[in-house]
Amino acid sequence: MATLQEIVSKPSGLASGHRMCAGCGIGSIVRTVLAASDKPVVVANATGCLEVVTTIYPYSAWKVPWIHLTFENAAAVASGIETAYRSLRNRGKITKDINIVAFGGDGGTYDIGFQALSGALERGHNFMYVVYDNEGYMNTGNQRSGATPYGASTTTVPAGTKSFGKPQWRKNIVEIAAAHRIPYAAQAAVHNTIDLYNKAKKGFEADGPAFLAVLQPCTTNWKYDPALTMTYSRLATETNFWPLYEVENGKVHINYKPRNRKPIEEFLKGQGRFRHLFKPENKHIIEKMQKLIDEEWERLLKLEESGVAL
């Protein structure tokens, strides 16, 4: 198992000098994922925060082969790259081993790009898809997405006298991906570099499609102090809001089990998107959220204990 020092000492596929927001962890996610590959990497990048801040014309922060895509077709283009590479390899025109990875935000993954992702996983293309999940359409102003949590206030479901924010629970994108019977799917978080690195490494080494969802707190639209990105990422795992687990060939393994699970209020407080939930009239929303989180955690534990494939 790699140490943190070994991971950070590896050459970076992403240069400094990009224009991500202060406190943004997307750069850390990308660097860690790319460091997990022991082969040259080709990147397919959906439109979104990552693409916008790393390739402001005429500059690029990428040190690896990279292609910009629309919101909806990152997985489709990654499939095309993999198919072309396999064809050229079979004809002896390419002899070098490579890894292919697609990066997309939650808007371009859970929603707009889901059909392309599902098709790529079903067809069995050998590449890894990584979603940096900041739980909304942050690049375009904090509209709700399929990843936006229950109770959050966004520009399209604002909290007010007629609404408490988003009334739906977020999609379980990792289990949806795993349901395609792919070799590897996992959930990680930006603060846990070693766990993220190990999961990315497994994804690159998988014999077939791999999927990785990484929690990426967004200081701009979650509305918190930019210095607290890693704190909120950690709190998400310590409250079981965002469990760290993996699904290998259908079998669930939980990578982190909090010894003393913190209440969900510890994650919610300090975030502007949840400020309204601490009003007396919205107490029941937090209680329902806690109940749903506890139920999901118990279900995940049972899946691990049973050893039954998803």
Residue 212 main-chain phi, psi, to 5 deg: -135, 120
Q: Are 28 and 4 in contact (CB under 8 A)?
A: no
Give residue-wise pLDDT tens across range 49-94. 999 999 998 999 999 999 999 999 999 999 999 999 999 999 999 9
Q: Are 128 and 138 in contact (CB under 8 A)?
A: no
Dist. CA 101–CA 201, nearest whole Å: 12
In what helix (H) or strand (E) does residue 291 lie, and over which residues does it extend? helix 283-306
Dist. CA 14–CA 52, nearest whole Å: 14
Cβ neighbour number for residue 57 with a 10 Å cutoff: 5
Cβ neighbour number for residue 62 with a 10 Å cutoff: 18
Residue by residue, pLDDT tens for the chain (310 residues) are 788 888 988 988 999 888 999 999 999 999 999 999 999 999 999 999 999 999 998 999 999 999 999 999 999 999 999 999 999 999 999 999 999 999 999 999 999 999 999 999 999 999 999 999 999 999 899 999 999 999 999 999 999 999 999 999 999 999 999 999 999 999 999 999 999 999 999 999 999 999 999 999 999 999 999 999 999 999 999 999 999 999 999 999 999 999 999 999 999 999 999 999 999 999 999 999 999 999 999 999 999 999 877 7
Dist. CA 125–CA 177, nearest whole Å: 13
Dist. CA 195–CA 151, nearest whole Å: 29
Q: Distance from CA of residue 242 to its chain's centroid?
A: 11
Q: Are 158 and 165 in contact (CB under 8 A)?
A: yes
Give residue-wise pLDDT tens across range 8-35. 889 889 998 889 999 999 999 999 999 9
Domain spanning 4-306: CATH superfamily: Thiamin diphosphate (ThDP)-binding fold, Pyr/PP domains (3.40.50.970)
